[in-house]
Structure formats: C-alpha cells, structure tokens
C-alpha cells in the first residue's frame, strides 16, 4: 500500500500536526519508503498466532480503595498540576474559546 | 593517586566508604570535566553542579556519622533527559517540553538519589528517544569523543538515543549514566563509545516518571565503564513500583555479589540468522573473538536459530510508532510545555500549530506512521500483523533458550558512523538497530560490552541476550568477555 499527498494530509490532520506544503511533499516519499519496507511482514505465516499483548507475563493489580493512599499521586495537587501550564487561569487550564 | 575522574562506580563507592577521598572531591572533579567539555561534546542539556555537590555533602556527612553511604554512595552520575527530575528542566530533548520543570521525581532517579548518587546534569539524547545517532535532539548533536584514526576531525555519532549518556561516560564526564532502551538505545550507543550498558528484563525498572515513547518496549538501564559498575547501578535502579502497572513484583537480586566470569556448564547460543550477507569484516572478527573468549571461560558454544529475526525490525517500526502516536497525543499546548496560538486560532488550530512547532521531523514522521497504521481499515493489516509477528519473535527466543543459557551477537552492524551520514535517510538509520531490536521486542535483558577496536581505531561492542529475569547470566557472560577482551582503550582527549 502506498500513500498519496491527500492521505498524508489526512493523517497529519488526525494526528493534529500542521504540515507546510514542503513538509507534506517531503513526507510522502519518506512514508512510502517505510511502508513499502514493512510490507514484508505480510509474507509471515501467522495463522493460529495470537497478537502479543504482554511481553513478560504479569498480572494487573488492583490498589486498595483508599483516598490519597500515595500522597504523591493523590489529590489536593491543583497548583502542582497547573504549575507548567502555558496558560493557567483561576485554577483552571486556559484554552481558546470553544463555544461560540 | 589516579585522577578521580578515571575511577568507575565501584572504585568511587569504595574509596568514599573507606575515606580515601571525599564525595565532594569526586563531585568537584566531575563537575570540572563537564564544564570543560560541554561546548565541544554537547553531552549535557543542563548541568547541575550544585545538585552533585549537595548530594556529595550529604554522603560525606553520613559517613562522618558512621552511617552507610549507600549502594551508590558518593557516585555522581548523568541523568538522561527522559527522566523527570523535580524542579530541573526535563525536555526529552524536544522543543515542546523546553522549560518544563517537573513537580515530581521519576522512580528510577529517586532510587538512585536514595542510594547516595548525585546528579551532574541532564543528558542530551535523540528527541523523545527516537533516533540512533543523537541527531534528532532539539538541543543539537552530541559529538562522540572517539575519532577515527586518519579520519581527520570529522565528528562521529555517539549512537542513540542515549547518545549524551554514552559520550559523557566515554569522555569521563561521569562514571555512569542512566539510559533507556526501546529498540537498542542503551546498547548501540554503548557499543559506539566503548562502554558497557545493560537493558534489563521489561518491568525491572519502573517507567513512572520516564517520558513515554513506546510503553511496551521502554526500559531504563545503566551505562557505565564496566560490568561490575552496571551491576551496582542496576541494583539501585530496579525494583517493584506500584505506580507502574507493568512493574515486576520481584525482589532485586544481588547482581554484584553474584558476579562470576566462570562459564563452565553454560551454553552460549550463536544465532545463525544474525550472520548477514555483506557483514563488516571487523564485526565478524569481534563476534568470533567473543566466541573464543566464552569458550575459554568454559562455555559450550551451540548454534541456534531465531527464524523470525529479519521481521523484528519492520514489526518494531509499526509497533513503536503506533505506541508513540498515542503517547505523544498528550502534548497539546494545554497542560504543559509549548503553546502556539496563531491569531484567531481555535482550539484545534492551536493543537496543530503547537505540535507542528514543538516536534522535530523524526518525531512527526513516527507519529504519522503510527497514526496511519492504527487508522480504520489499516489496523489489522499493519498493527495486528506486527503484534502477531512479535509473538513469533518471542517464541523464537523461548525455543532458543531451551538449547542455550545466553545468546552472543554483535551489538550493531558497524562502528560509529559520521554525523550526517544517515540523517537524510530514515530507513538506513533504522537498519542500524537490526541486532538490538529483537531482544527489545521480546522484553529480554540484553547488554553490550566493549570487544575491541576496528581497523579505524573505533570501539566495537558485543551483545549478550539472556532469558527473561536472567540479568545475572547476562552480566556474568559480559564479565567473562570483559576479562578476556582487556579493553582499556579510551578516546584521545581533543575537547
């Protein structure tokens, strides 16, 4: 499978990355080279093989149902959470207007 | 007395503990090396000499009170800029995180500080750990301290993604550094700079507070001058962490105390699929040397087969970008990092403009690949197929470890290449990880140890891959090679 300019523009839009015309033009052959190369996976016989879900056997743990069991990751951290925000206002993340 | 900056982790720890020198003296010596070298090598994004001194003072005070200074007591280290360090800029070498000062400390770095280590600074790397040459950093290329004999002053790549770590250890700017390995990012730079590095079993080191690239592959590990130093530092880094759902709930073995170069009764597997057409003659020679050394150490050498080897790299370049495209969705210009808000932009425009300005070309390339292979209509053909191939790769190793205890292979297909050599050709760059990626895909412990120099006087590494949880077997084989390789070469100082 290969991608054309319109497809790459669509992917970039899905990925929320603005690409200039030049970037888009350069990306098309690069992505096609990579996609052409990974095509070879199609020749592997995978009948009866399950896709990998966990590389090392492990089980999912449940933590105790306790509030702030770990103070580091518990609540009451509003200011720390906002500390690196580019536009924190009144204790919230500021964003451009989304409702007209 | 030997210069303090020539000492490794064990020597510093023991020297501080016995009072031969103070931790502050050690920190001062390395701080001076960092300051003198960084313009030329660009290994550190941020130097934190005051942090190194502060930690060293604490260790000296503990010792004065008769308390144990810790597993890494008095050892100053470099911290890859992928680890969140409280109050110290953490960027993953990206523009989008420039200025980001975490409010918390990663589990692995905290464990190191608790063990008595101090931080010399944050190390340069490939942006978001995506790269094999340290040329994708927003903060410029790291230059390998090694130079090719007769190659003039051409700058060589230090490998990647942990290129700042490898360059800094090789140039004696730190006795050890943290690295992370997603598809070879500890082992390949270690090989390119003549140092030692180990990626443990997936889950040994907590990923909490490490900037995520591909979560099913990312694993932290130490990079240092020799096997013992790696064993010591890995003990300090590893351990169960409830904050990482994939963390292994297992005790940390006493890897250092159990080091043994005796390979009697051990079988070393040589995977025939790693012998590739047109392989570099010096790489073939070093691999043969490795076989000779391990046989000399008492091991039995057996031929093994890993039939799906050639599919590991293409499968990796579906799975890793897929995971990256999801993980990097968090950089949106809202919660932290860069925000680009063109005049009149709405929220969607802001996301797209921020990510366009904040990510480098390789990161964008991988996010786009990942988005594409996960998109409706292509998911099964690419992503599901790659995950099935990954299962087969894992089966290959499982079958191989029925016949051998560890696997010996080259770390990389070449010695360090010149900066700029492969940066215009993503595929050529990806192929550099052909020997490193299979072990990552199976979550296995794997290590690179220096084996010797090639015809240009550049270091080559040998890779040892072990079964899951058998870091000890990997370290022991590494030690056996190290003792026989007698690798003492170091880059001639030009910086």
β-pairing, B44-47 vs B118-123, is: antiparallel
Answer yes or no: are the C-beta atoms of A68 and B249 closer than 8 Å. Answer: no
| Cα–Cα distance measured from residue B294 to residue B476, given in angstroms and rounded to the nearest whole number | 10
Nearest-by-Cβ selection for A55 from B101, B365, B443: B443
Per-residue burial over B351-388, b = 16 or more CB atoms within 10 Å of its CB, e = otherwise = bbbbbbbbbbebbbbbbbbbbbbbbeeeeeebbebbbb
For the ranges A61-75, B130-144, B299-313, B355-369, the lowest mean pLDDT is seen at A61-75
For the ranges A70-84, B136-150, B345-359, the lowest mean pLDDT is seen at A70-84
pLDDT of residue B442: 98
User: Do the domain assignments include residue B161?
Assistant: yes
pLDDT of residue A75: 86
**Residue B32 above 80 pLDDT?**
yes
Q: SS3 of B477, please?
A: helix
Answer yes or no: are the C-beta atoms of A25 and A41 closer than 8 Å. Answer: no
Q: Name the pTM for this structure.
A: 0.97
Answer yes or no: are the C-beta atoms of B40 and B495 closer than 8 Å. Answer: yes
For the ranges B4-8, B222-226, B424-428, the lowest mean pLDDT is seen at B424-428
E strands, B25-114, are 44-47, 76-80
pLDDT of residue A73: 82
Q: SS3 of B122, please?
A: strand
- Assess A19–B contact: CB distance below 8 Å, yes or no: yes
- Assess B426–A contact: CB distance below 8 Å, yes or no: yes
B9-28 mean pLDDT: 98
Which residue segments constitute the domains of chain A, with CATH numbers given?
Answer: 5-42 (1.10.20)
Task: With CB atoms and an 8 Å threshold, state whether B427 touches A34.
Answer: yes
User: Do the domain assignments include residue B171?
Assistant: yes
B212-232 mean pLDDT: 98
User: Do the domain assignments include residue B147?
Assistant: yes
pLDDT of residue A69: 84
Determine whether B1 is exposed, middle or buried from the number of CB atoms within 10 Å of its CB (0-12, 13-18, 19+).
exposed
User: Do the domain assignments include residue B319?
Assistant: no
Interface mutation vs chain A, best among B368, B371, B401, B443, most A CBs within 10 Å: B368
**Residue A60 above 90 pLDDT?**
no
**Residue A21 above 80 pLDDT?**
yes
Task: With CB atoms and an 8 Å threshold, state whether B389 touches A46.
Answer: yes
Phi, psi (degrees; rounded to nearest 5) at B272: -65, -25
Half-sphere exposure of B227 (CA within 13 A, CB side): 34
Phi, psi (degrees; rounded to nearest 5) at B400: -65, -40
Task: With CB atoms and an 8 Å threshold, state whether A85 touches B364.
Answer: no
Length of chain B in terms of residues written: 495
Q: Which tens digit of pLDDT belongs to each residue from B152-191?
A: 788 999 999 999 999 999 999 999 999 999 999 999 999 9
Q: What is the CATH number of the domain that holds B119?
A: 3.90.1300.10
- Residue B111 is encoded by which pair of tokens? 């464990």
- Assess B325–A contact: CB distance below 8 Å, yes or no: yes
**Residue B86 above 80 pLDDT?**
yes
State the nearest Cα–Cα gap between B127 and chain A, in angstroms: 17
Q: How confident is the model at residue B423 (pLDDT cuts 50, 70, 90)?
A: confident
Mark whether B325 is an active-site residue. Answer: no
Mark whether B375 is an active-site residue. Answer: no
pLDDT of residue B348: 95
Task: With CB atoms and an 8 Å threshold, state whether A41 touches B392.
Answer: no
Mark whether B185 is an active-site residue. Answer: yes
pLDDT of residue B300: 98
pLDDT of residue A97: 87
Answer yes or no: are the C-beta atoms of B263 and B298 closer than 8 Å. Answer: yes
| Cα–Cα distance measured from residue B357 to residue B437, given in angstroms and rounded to the nearest whole number | 30
| Cα–Cα distance measured from residue B140 to residue B13, given in angstroms and rounded to the nearest whole number | 33
Q: What is the mean pLDDT of chain B?
A: 97
Q: Which tens digit of pLDDT belongs to each residue from B253-294?
A: 999 999 999 999 999 999 999 998 889 999 999 999 999 999
Nearest-by-Cβ selection for B391 from A11, A13, A49: A49
Q: Which tens digit of pLDDT belongs to each residue from B90-107?
A: 999 999 999 999 999 999
B117: Cβ contacts below 8 Å, ≥ 6 apart: B55, B70, B72, B75, B76, B77, B236
Complex confidence, ipTM: 0.95
| Cα–Cα distance measured from residue A75 to residue B340, given in angstroms and rounded to the nearest whole number | 30
State the nearest Cα–Cα gap between B36 and chain A, in angstroms: 32
Interface of A with B in 33-92 (CB under 8 A): 33-35, 37-38, 40-42, 44, 46, 49-56, 58, 60-61, 63, 70, 72-73, 77, 80-81, 83-87
Q: Which tens digit of pLDDT belongs to each residue from B308-332?
A: 999 999 999 999 999 999 999 999 9
| Cα–Cα distance measured from residue B63 to residue B18, given in angstroms and rounded to the nearest whole number | 9
Binning chain A into helix, strand and coil, the percentages to the nearest 5 are 40, 5, 60
Residue ranges making up the domain that contains B25: 4-260+478-485
**Residue B1 above 70 pLDDT?**
no
Q: SS3 of B461, please?
A: strand
pLDDT of residue A100: 67
Task: With CB atoms and an 8 Å threshold, state whether A18 touches B348.
Answer: no
**Residue B494 above 90 pLDDT?**
yes
pLDDT of residue B19: 96
B14: Cβ contacts below 8 Å, ≥ 6 apart: none
Overall domain count for chain B:
1
Nearest-by-Cβ selection for A98 from B347, B372, B384: B347
B288: Cβ contacts below 8 Å, ≥ 6 apart: none
User: Do the domain assignments include residue B464?
Assistant: no
How big is the CA angle at B180 (ends B179 and B183), to the nearest 5 degrees?
130
Q: SS3 of B46, please?
A: strand
- Give contacts of A17 with chain B, Cβ < 8 Å: 352, 355-356, 359, 364, 367-368
Binning chain B into helix, strand and coil, the percentages to the nearest 5 are 40, 15, 45
- Give contacts of B338 with chain A, Cβ < 8 Å: 86
Task: With CB atoms and an 8 Å threshold, state whether A27 touches B242.
Answer: no
Residue in B370, B474, B390, B398 with CA at minimum distance from that of residue B438: B390
pLDDT of residue B361: 95
Q: How confident is the model at residue B2 (pLDDT cuts 50, 70, 90)?
A: low
Phi, psi (degrees; rounded to nearest 5) at B188: -65, -45
Task: With CB atoms and an 8 Å threshold, state whether B352 touches A55.
Answer: no
pLDDT of residue B195: 98
Half-sphere exposure of B113 (CA within 13 A, CB side): 19
Beta bridge partner(s), residue B462: B410, B449
Task: With CB atoms and an 8 Å threshold, state whether B364 touches A55.
Answer: no
- Give contacts of A63 with chain B, Cβ < 8 Å: 242
How big is the CA angle at B223 (ends B219 and B226), to the nearest 5 degrees?
135
User: Do the domain assignments include residue B358?
Assistant: no
- Give contacts of A96 with chain B, Cβ < 8 Å: 341, 345-347, 349-350
User: Do the domain assignments include residue B174?
Assistant: yes
Answer yes or no: are the C-beta atoms of B47 and B27 closer than 8 Å. Answer: no
Angle formed by the axes of helices B23-41 and B9-18, to 10°? Answer: 150
**Residue B415 above 80 pLDDT?**
yes
B35-51 mean pLDDT: 97
- Assess B399–A contact: CB distance below 8 Å, yes or no: no
């Amino acid at each position: 499978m290969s991608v054309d300019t319109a497809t790459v523009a669509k992917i970039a839009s899905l990925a929320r990355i603005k690409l200039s015309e030049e970037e888009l033009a350069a990306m098309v052959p690069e992505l096609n080279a990579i996609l052409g190369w990974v095509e070879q996976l199609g020749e592997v016989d995978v009948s009866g093989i399950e896709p990998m879900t966990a590389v090392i056997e492990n089980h999912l743990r449940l933590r105790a149902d306790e509030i702030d069991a770990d103070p580091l990751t518990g609540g009451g951290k509003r200011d720390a959470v906002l500390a690196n925000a580019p536009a924190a206002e009144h204790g919230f993340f500021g964003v451009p207007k989304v409702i007209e | 007395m030997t210069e303090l900056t020539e000492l490794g982790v064990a020597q510093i720890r023991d020297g501080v503990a016995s009072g031969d020198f103070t931790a502050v003296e050690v920190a001062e010596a390395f701080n001076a090396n960092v300051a003198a070298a960084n313009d030329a090598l660009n290994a550190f994004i941020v130097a934190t000499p005051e942090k190194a001194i502060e930690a060293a003072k604490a260790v000296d005070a503990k010792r004065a009170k008769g308390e144990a200074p810790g597993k890494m007591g008095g050892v100053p280290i470099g911290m890859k800029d992928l680890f969140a360090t409280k109050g110290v800029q953490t960027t993953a070498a990206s523009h989008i995180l420039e200025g980001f000062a975490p409010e918390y400390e990663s589990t692995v770095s905290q464990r190191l500080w608790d063990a008595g280590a101090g931080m010399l600074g944050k190390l340069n790397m490939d942006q978001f750990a995506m790269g094999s040459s340290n040329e994708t950093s927003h903060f410029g290329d790291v230059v390998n301290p090694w130079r090719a004999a007769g190659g003039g002053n051409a700058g060589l790549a230090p490998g990647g993604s942990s290129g700042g770590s490898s360059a800094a250890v090789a140039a004696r700017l730190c006795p050890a550094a943290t690295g992370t390995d997603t598809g070879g990012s500890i082992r390949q730079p270690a090989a390119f700079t003549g140092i030692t590095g180990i990626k443990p079993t997936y889950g040994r080191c907590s990923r909490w507070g490490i900037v995520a690239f591909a979560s099913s592959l990312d694993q932290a590990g130490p990079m240092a001058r020799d096997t013992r130093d790696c064993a010591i530092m890995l003990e300090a880094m590893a351990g169960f962490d409830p904050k990482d759902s994939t963390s292994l709930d297992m005790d940390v073995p006493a890897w250092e105390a159990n080091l043994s170069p005796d390979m009697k009764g051990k079988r070393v597997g040589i995977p025939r699929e790693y012998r590739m057409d047109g392989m570099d003659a010096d790489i073939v020679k070093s691999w043969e040397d490795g076989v000779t050394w391990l046989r000399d150490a008492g091991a039995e050498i057996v031929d093994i087969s890993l039939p799906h080897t050639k599919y590991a790299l293409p499968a990796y370049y579906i799975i890793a970008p897929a995971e990256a495209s999801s993980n990097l969705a968090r950089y949106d210009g809202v919660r932290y990092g860069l925000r680009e808000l063109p005049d009149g932009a709405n929220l969607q425009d802001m996301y797209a403009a921020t990510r366009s300005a904040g990510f480098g070309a390789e990161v964008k390339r991988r996010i786009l690949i990942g988005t594409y292979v996960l998109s409706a209509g292509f998911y099964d053909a690419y992503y599901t197929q790659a995950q099935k191939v990954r299962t087969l790769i894992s089966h290959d190793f499982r079958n191989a470890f029925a016949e051998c205890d560890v696997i010996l292979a080259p770390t990389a297909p070449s010695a360090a290449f010149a900066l700029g050599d492969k940066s215009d050709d993503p595929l050529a760059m990806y192929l550099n990880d052909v020997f490193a990626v299979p072990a990552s895909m199976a979550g296995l412990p794997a290590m690179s140890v220096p084996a010797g120099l090639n015809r240009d006087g550049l270091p080559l590494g040998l890779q040892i891959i072990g079964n899951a949880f058998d870091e000890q077997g990997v370290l022991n084989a590494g030690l056996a090679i190290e003792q026989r390789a007698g690798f003492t070469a170091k880059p001639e100082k030009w910086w």
